[in-house]
Amino acid sequence: MTKKKAPEDNRQGQGGGRPMVVFDAVMTAKVEGFASTMTVAQMGDYFGCGETTMFEVFKRQPEVSEAYKRGRASVIALVAQNLITKAKNGDTASAIFFLKTQAGWKETQVLDHTSTDRSMSPREMTDDELKAERKKYGIPEPK
């Protein structure tokens, strides 16, 4: 990691503070390799800087950002290909996962509120029946 030298006066607001982190080609290659298994914060820990600094490097050095994206994309492609292979080979859980995440499938649960003998099944009531039930149980009419 290369750090640019701060100006001689080294005062806050005039270029003072910590030196800027600049990634070379070797570090950029490591970013691509690490992207498949590490978070940006973990890579920052490895390189001796914080997550915010890593994102600043991504902004300043597009080649580092592109290396990170390539690393992430390659592992995503590998895992996705393995998932598709498992689904094609009859692994039901893999097929369901793929369809839910990629094809918009979802599971819905339908609740049946009827009883087997229909004695407790919900039904429509007329206004007069509702008034009679309220009166039977001492429930006042709504205002």
Q: Where are the domains of the chain?
A: 2-102
Q: What is the pLDDT of residue 15?
A: 62
CA pair distance 38, 40, nearest whole angstrom: 7
Count of CB atoms within 10 A of residue 74's CB? 14
- DSSP code for 12: T
Is the confidence at residue 128, as pLDDT, over 70?
yes
Query: What's the whole-model pTM score?
Result: 0.60
Quick check: 6 pLDDT over 60? no
CA 16/CA 8 separation, integer angstroms = 9
pLDDT digit string, tens, across residues 40-71: 999 999 999 999 999 999 999 999 999 999 99
102-111 mean pLDDT: 84
| DSSP letter, residue 141 | P
